[in-house]
Amino acid sequence: MQTFNTVAGLRRYLQQARLEKAAIGFVPTMGALHDGHIALIQTAVRENDLTVCSIFVNPVQFNNPDDLQKYPRTLEADSLQLQEAGCDVLFAPEVTEMYPQAPIVSFGFGPLETVMEGTFRPGHFSGVGIVVAKLFNIVEPDKAYFGQKDLQQTAVVRALVRDLSFPVDIRICPTLRESDGLAMSSRNTRLTAQERTIAPQLFQVLKTCKKELLAGIPVETARQHADAAFAAMEGFRLEYLEIVDAVSLQPLTRRGAPETTAICVAAYLGEVRLIDNLVF
């Protein structure tokens, strides 16, 4: 695996690969890699001639300075995992390489950011838009891989690609979970042992809510039941639990056709903010 820390070095290398007509797959990450990230890499390796992974903890998408400071950074271990998974290129720039000065451009995503993460993390999706646009311009991938775990992010990235005509095929991969149902996340390593034992309850509430909706219980009632379940669970502080259209992300008043309903949740467990969703 080749590792690059500079935009110029990576561009030179990829230019040559492109001349040789290599199809380039790209997996942007913030590192502290787990099996969910590695599944994205493995899919990219299967579907492309050359796979590029970026590891960059993007400061402009953090609305909480404490979260940015405490974000786990494990570059050496990440690099080994990527190599084992068959990744060809790692791009791991410093902040000053990506942002020689603080960016003055910003993005708005209209109705996609007036709900859920957009409400609770002001400026977050603008920061995501900036880094994804930059990385697409640097890597110029044929395909880029994102996890359904960050459902709203996938909608924002699709809008970015559509509205700005990026020639990139966006592939969404399923959420990988621990055996007890907890969605894998880099932030899970920050949970205390006690918090880790109760963390899977988040997924249990999503599953119960899904079951109720499939049984025909009205959307608003199912949502209230889920709210009540959170209120009864010690340790969690619920930010939102929304039942939305899986594409527009707008709240639903009744369940739609199969695969168009999404239940999305964000909750603090101690100091750690967890998100998860189910689409069905």
Number of residues in contact with ligand AMP, rule: CB under 6 A?
17
Active site residue 225: no
Q: Of the ranges 66-74, 113-121, 184-192, 222-230, which one interacts with ligand AMP (CB under 6 A)?
A: 184-192
186 binds ligand AMP (CB under 6 A): yes
Q: Of the ranges 1-9, 10-18, 29-37, 65-73, which one interacts with ligand AMP (CB under 6 A)?
A: 29-37
Closest approach of Cβ 190 to ligand AMP, in Å?
13
150 binds ligand AMP (CB under 6 A): yes
Closest approach of Cβ 105 to ligand AMP, in Å?
20
| Residue of 173, 191, 263, 275 interacting with ligand AMP (CB under 6 A) | 173
Closest approach of Cβ 208 to ligand AMP, in Å?
20
Q: Based on CB atoms, which residue is closest to ligand AMP, 188 or 261?
A: 188
Q: Of the ranges 9-17, 33-41, 110-118, 231-239, which one interacts with ligand AMP (CB under 6 A)?
A: 33-41
Residue 95, Ramachandran bin (φ over 0: left; ψ between -120 and 50: alpha; else beta): alpha
| Residue of 185, 188, 201, 277 interacting with ligand AMP (CB under 6 A) | 185
Q: How far is CA 161 from CA 95, 110, 153, 158, 257, in A?
A: 24, 15, 12, 5, 26
Q: Based on CB atoms, which residue is closest to ligand AMP, 38 or 219?
A: 38
Closest approach of Cβ 265 to ligand AMP, in Å?
14
| Residue of 10, 14, 37, 79 interacting with ligand AMP (CB under 6 A) | 37
| Residue of 4, 14, 25, 29 interacting with ligand AMP (CB under 6 A) | 29
Q: Which residue do the tokens 């992010």 mark?
A: 153
Q: How many C-beta atoms surround the C-beta of residue 172 within 10 A?
A: 17
Q: Based on CB atoms, which residue is closest to ligand AMP, 184 or 222?
A: 184
Taking each helix axis as running N to C, give the angle between helix 151-164 and helix 124-139, from 0 to 180 degrees, rounded to the nearest 10. 60
3-state secondary structure the chain: CEEECCHHHHHHHHHHHHHCCCCEEEEEECCCCCHHHHHHHHHHHHHCCEEEEEECCCHHHCCCHHHHHHCCCCHHHHHHHHHHHCCCEEECCCHHHHCCCCCCCCCCCHHHHCCCHHHHCCCHHHHHHHHHHHHHHHHCCCEEEEEHHHHHHHHHHHHHHHHHCCCCEEEEECCCECCCCCECCHHHHHCCHHHHHHCCHHHHHHHHHHHHHHCCCCHHHHHHHHHHHHHHCCCEEEEEEEEEECCCCCECCCCCCCCCEEEEEEEEECCEEEEEEEEC
| Residue of 121, 124, 143, 149 interacting with ligand AMP (CB under 6 A) | 149
Closest approach of Cβ 188 to ligand AMP, in Å?
9
129 binds ligand AMP (CB under 6 A): no
Residues that bind ligand AMP (CB under 6 A): 29-30, 36-37, 39-40, 146-147, 149-150, 173, 175-176, 183-186
- Catalytic residue positions, numbered: 37
